Copies of this chain bind each other. A is one copy, B any other.
Amino acid sequence: MLPFARVSIIGMGLIGSSLARAVRAHMPTVRLTATDADPAVRERVRDLNLVDDVADSAGAAVVDADLVVLAVPLGAFAAVGAEIAPELASGAIVSDVGSAKQIVIDALGPLMPPGVHLIPAHPVAGTERSGPDAGFPTLFEGRWCILTPPEGADSAAVARLSEFWARVGSRVEVMEPRHHDLVLAVTSHIPHLIAYSIVGTAADLEGVTRGEVIKYSAGGFRDFTRIAASDPTMWRDVFLTNKDAVLEVLGRVSEDIAALQRAIRWGEGDALFQRFSSSRDIRRAIIDAGQDTADPDFGRHH
């Protein structure tokens, strides 16, 4: 028995289009509807035949859906929420794939009509690509999907949404929204912010040309550029909507960088060695947990 019969996806970028493909692959009898604010994307979704119906507006897309998934940048949630609210069927579950979660409850909660269940979710998966052509059906396999139901949420609705994500291959976890936002600030938002920052620094440095930065990037920099090639709109909104947690962790990051800077300045080799030595344990644990490939250099061809 499928958890949902009619699923609507609002926003058909990397995540939305991957979810559509995954639903087709694992729950082929689900009736899939999608839309996107960009007419060119809607056209492309039609051409790729990713869903059963492409609607021209978010409101039209959600009529009769028993699951609605918002896969748009967080900054668009309030507007999309206002647009879909009058069209939602009673008993529908509204969810999303956003990288910050308290903001989803704050932005969408007050808009939801009675009888509609808001259960925010965050599949911790992605690549640096964007758009409907970038998606693929196995994106969520073996990755965690974190559900952050608001206080008093319907437990049957949470169970149905858990089942849905499990069907597309995810491992599901339930978490308190503010705790989610702190954990993800550490494991995702800060790494992206730092990568964007360093790539910018390198591009603008006096005394080193951009050509040199590109040419000799194999020493480590190129990995930062991959992360910093992610969608700028999405990430702008993540930082603006998870501001408190990001600023809190960033404060610690700056302190720790300053401590390393001081150790280098004063030639404290033992302190540097000790700090650097502990990282390998975490790397090994991530590989053991199935969250990264064990191939050296990500298995890049040599």
Contact = CB atoms under 8 A, between A and B. Distances in A.
B252 A264 contact: no
A222 interface: yes
Contact of A229 (B195, B214, B254, B283): B283
Interface residues of A, number: 108
B276 A124 contact: no
Contacts of A203: 278, 282
B264 A229 contact: no
15 contacts: A125-B218, A134-B296, A184-B216, A187-B220, A191-B198, A191-B224, A194-B194, A194-B257, A196-B260, A214-B285, A215-B291, A220-B227, A232-B272, A246-B264, A298-B300
Given A184-B219, A220-B227, 8 more contacts: A127-B296, A187-B217, A188-B216, A191-B198, A193-B260, A225-B286, A239-B272, A250-B261
Question: Which 7 pairs of residues, A with B, have the shortest CB-CB distance?
Answer: A188-B219, A232-B276, A191-B220, A228-B279, A298-B298, A127-B296, A229-B283
Interface of A: 75, 99, 124-129, 134, 136, 138-139, 141, 143-144, 146, 173, 179, 182-184, 186-203, 205, 207-208, 210, 212-229, 232-233, 235-237, 239-240, 243, 246-247, 249-250, 252-254, 256-258, 260-261, 264-265, 267, 269, 272-273, 275-280, 282-283, 285-286, 289, 291-293, 296-302
